[in-house]
A = this chain, B = another copy of it.
Amino acid sequence: MARTCAVGVDFGTESGRAVLVDVSTGAELATAVYPYANGVIDERLPAPDDDVRLEPDWALQDPEDYVRTFQVTVPSVLEQAAVDPADVIGIGVDFTACTMLPTTADGTPVCTLPEYRRRPHAWVKLWKHHAAQPEADRINELARERGEPWLPRYGGKISSEWFYAKALQILDEDPELYATADRLIEAADWVVWRLTGVETRNSCTAGYKAIWSKGEGFPSAEYFAGLDPRFSSVVDDKMSREISPIGARAGGLTAEAAAWTGLRPGTAVAVANVDAHVSVPAATVTGPGRMVAVMGTSICHLALGADSAVVEGMCGVVEDGVIPGLFGFEAGQSGVGDIFAWFVDNAVPPEYHARAAAEGVDVHTILEREAAALRPGESGLLALDWWNGNRSILVDVDLTGLLVGATLSTKAPEIYRALIEATAVGTRMIVEAFEDAGVRVEEVVACGGLPDRNRLLMQIYADVTGREFAVAASGQTPALGSAMFGAVAAGAAAGGYDDIVDAATRMARLRDERYRPDPATREAYDELYREYVALHDHFGRGASDVMKALKAIRARARSEVAPA
């Protein structure tokens, strides 16, 4: 008997990935990855326009790489698994966000028009395009001045990575191009448009990145006009007020997209989603009480609630943003795996590298082994894990890393453990902020790259937070989640599911292993937590502004260096 399948396509920062999934079991039958030909465009535009150089902090992409992802990866997974396209009932996509682009009214990217190809603002602005900070500053300042009611839903601060900062930068710096663009759209929605011929706007990116809510819609025209009179009708001019909930069907595959993918025309296409958020049901979480932690270079924390709530320093809360019918809460730590990688690259002496090489393992493995032999607090060290700023709960990119407790006998594995402990305490602060706001977190399901490799880290997280940590079975939860939404777009009548809760029950699984808090560590970690909170509040809540002062001194020192 033929399997009924769905395809999930996950658009990452460097590549796109398709996974073919058995709808009845969630078994991942085949995977294919397409590394974007133009990758992250952050120094100069692609040839033949590579004489056009970009300013610092820019990060663009080429929308044709997204089309190529479909063309390369979907046929590949079908072929690998020898699945008949007729047995593929749906396709879902997820994307980095906010990753957005200007298009014409029919969805043609402005950067593909010859007359605009050499204009940087015509290209896709990737999530980590950080050049719109001045616009974000204006957005926040005006929102605070006006007491905008939506500001608390975003932890009191809008990121320069989000939609309006990027849109406003286009208006500021290339008003003619802004006028030319009929649409400004999330790449997530744009690829669904390309698949279906239908423009939809998903509730996840609209809510988390474009300040939309189901009850209140978008910010007012008065607010937008305060940013720039030409911006007052940005929603009606460039966007849409029609928001499609996560879990809905966007449309059916066009003949063109069927030809790209090898799937049949009319195959159900789900409304688009965001990579972290789509992981939630793929990690078996479809209701309140369990948090999903997407753990990699950074951590994204997602939890669900029946009611809205104001959680200190969260990234956002969106009704229907993650699971239809529930409020999805998002928080985050801006540096986790990145900090461990920094440490290994920049602060570990040769002996550990030599031992790793001798054993044929990586340096993390050597450090983890020695760090695991230490008891909680035995290093005598404590860190503030702010090497990349603090996202939640302080929402402050200008905070920096701190290490205290060093002595002449401090060794690298002790610092390594202190850094792990610090990121775990950062997660505990977020968990407690959720609980304080009435959003229950009884256990955590981890996914992403870190849980795979790092048993010590997982145990420390369980011990520090006092929560049991489970781990999602899939190593590619975003793509699995997208395939699940593809099956929901197809519906039960077509062999899929009528809602994502049913899909998760059948298609999502956890690993057997669980990390349970060790009660013997409780006292020491409670003490470390109290000390961390004291440092956190001293340096993060204004009592000491040394971190900002040092950044200012540094910036001045750099500006004094003789210009080229």
- Hey, which bits of chain A sit against chain B, CB under 8 A? 335, 338-339, 342, 345-350, 353, 374-382, 387-388, 400-408, 410-412, 415, 524, 527-528, 531, 534-535, 538-539, 544, 546-547, 549-551, 553-554, 556-558, 560-561
Contacts and interface: CB of A to CB of B under 8 A. Distances in A.
Contacts of A403: 402-403, 406
A345 B345 CA distance: 15
A336 B262 CA distance: 68
A196 to B, nearest CB: 39
Q: How many copies does the complex hold?
A: 2
Given A342-B410, A534-B546, A554 B350 contact: no
B524 A553 contact: yes
Nearest to A348: B349
B551 A404 contact: no
A377 B546 contact: no
Nearest to A339: B408
A380 B386 CA distance: 14
Contacts of A401: 404-407, 410
20 contacts: A346-B411, A346-B412, A347-B348, A347-B412, A350-B350, A375-B561, A377-B556, A382-B550, A388-B408, A400-B406, A401-B404, A404-B546, A404-B550, A405-B546, A405-B554, A524-B557, A527-B553, A531-B550, A535-B546, A538-B544
Contact of A400 (B404, B539, B558): B404
Contacts of A338: 408
A406 B378 contact: no
The 7 closest A-B pairs by CB, nearest first: A401-B406, A380-B554, A377-B553, A378-B557, A375-B557, A350-B350, A402-B404
Contacts of A407: 387-388, 400-401
A348 B531 CA distance: 28
Given A348-B349, A561-B375, A408 B554 contact: no
Contacts of A551: 380, 405
A346 B346 contact: no
Contacts of A410: 342, 346, 387, 401
